[in-house]
Chain A
Amino acid sequence: EIVLTQSPGTLSLSPGERATLSCRASHSVSNSYLAWYQQKPGQAPRLLIYGASSRATGIPDRFSGSGSGTDFTLTISRLEPEDFAVYYCQRYGDSPLFAFGPGTKVDIK
Chain B
Amino acid sequence: QVHLQESGPGLVKPSETLSLTCTVSGGSITTINHYWGWIRQAPGKGLEWIGHMHFDGSTHYNPSLESRVSISVDTTKNHFSLKLRSVTAADTAVYFCVRVVEMATIHFDPWGQGTLVTVSS
Contacts and interface: CB of A to CB of B under 8 A. Distances in A.
Contacts, number: 60
A47 B107 contact: yes
B78 to A, nearest CB: 20
Interface string B58-72: 001011100000000
Contacts of B114: 44
Interface of A: 32-33, 35, 37, 43-47, 50-51, 54, 56, 88, 90, 92, 95-103
Nearest to A95: B63
Interface residues of B, number: 21
B60 A33 contact: no
B108 A51 contact: no
Given A44-B111, A44-B112, A100 B105 contact: no
B49 A97 contact: yes
A100 B46 contact: yes
Contacts of A51: 104-105, 107
Given A95-B63, A97-B49, A100-B49, A45 B107 contact: no
Given A45-B111, A96-B62, A54 B49 contact: no
B113 interface: yes
Given A32-B106, A47-B107, A102-B46, 11 more contacts: A32-B105, A35-B107, A43-B113, A45-B47, A50-B101, A50-B105, A50-B107, A50-B109, A51-B105, A96-B64, A100-B47
A90 B113 contact: no
A33 B106 CA distance: 6
User: B63, B104, B108: which has the most chain A beta carbons within 10 Å?
Assistant: B108
Contacts of B109: 47, 50, 56
B36 interface: no
Given A95-B63, A96-B64, A44 B113 contact: yes
